Amino acid sequence: MDALNTVWDTFFDLDAMRAALPDMLRVGLPNTLVLALFSAVIGTVLGMVLAVCGLSQHRWLRWPARVWTDVFRGLPAAVTILLIGVGLAPLGLEIWGPNPYPLGILALSLIASAYIGEIFRSGIQSVDPGQLEAARALGFSRPWGMRLVVIPQGVRRVLPALVNQFIALIKESSLVYFLGLLASQRDLFRIGQDAAANTGNQSALVLAGLCYLLITVPLTHVVNAIDRRLREGRRADGGPSETPEGTTDPASRPELAISQEPR
């Protein structure tokens, strides 16, 4: 019984959690979100560039994209973050002073871009070649056909995979602690770990974990919702004219549409 109590106290000491909570919410949560958000945006933009280059007809665009992807997907995240964050630190010091965040975000973005680039590439490649052909037959150039017709469809198909990548990014953002953070720069993980180290009690780290779950679990549900919408939506996104009052069960719409064949 004693042993059980010890375990409970080690992980779920509410007083220890309460002590860590203010820092966790005021400092850790914003920092984690800033890291994840900026890297997600930059990683997505870079990823799209990589995908388009990777699908280019020009070898001198395809090849660098390939190498970039292989390198940043192949290296452990910790290695990339340390190499960029420490290796470029003198340069960073000159540009934005003693703040490890920009380099941390850069490293996280580079890692994310490699994965996101592959996600986009597979999405774009899955679009029927007839779509680009139809766009070109209307008079669009190849780049405009890609931009207006092919890429929007490709991206839509891989939204679930993209959100999964964002989840990974939120978790990997904890690795910036390698770069040495000031008290105000600590993210969720670092605050939990510091408190755990100071008190010899893991409860603060458990609290940090709960904070991560609070962000990531809803996101996984977003993934599932998108996934479901995409799968059903393909048949049921008939638009307002099809179901004026929105009363129709989505699943029953396709038959409706076909039975209305006027000629």
Site for other proteins in 95-154 (CB under 8 A): 128, 130-131, 133-141, 144, 148-149, 152-153
CA 145 – CA 131 distance, rounded (Å): 8
Q: Could you tell me which of 110, 116, 105 has the C-alpha nearest to residue 175?
A: 105
Q: Could you tell me which of 45, 50, 86 has the C-alpha nearest to residue 68?
A: 50
CB of 132 to other proteins, least distance (A): 9
Does the footprint of other proteins cover residue 249 (CB under 8 A)? no
Site for other proteins in 58-97 (CB under 8 A): none
CA 28 – CA 33 distance, rounded (Å): 9
CB of 70 to other proteins, least distance (A): 29
Residue with Cβ nearer other proteins (81 or 155): 155
Distances (CA, A) of 179 to 32, 99, 217: 14, 9, 27
CA 42 – CA 14 distance, rounded (Å): 38
Residue with Cβ nearer other proteins (229 or 253): 253
The helix/strand/coil state of 201 is: coil
How many residues make contact with other proteins (CB under 8 A)? 34
- Footprint of other proteins (CB under 8 A): 128, 130-131, 133-141, 144, 148-149, 152-153, 156, 234-242, 253-254, 257-258, 261-263
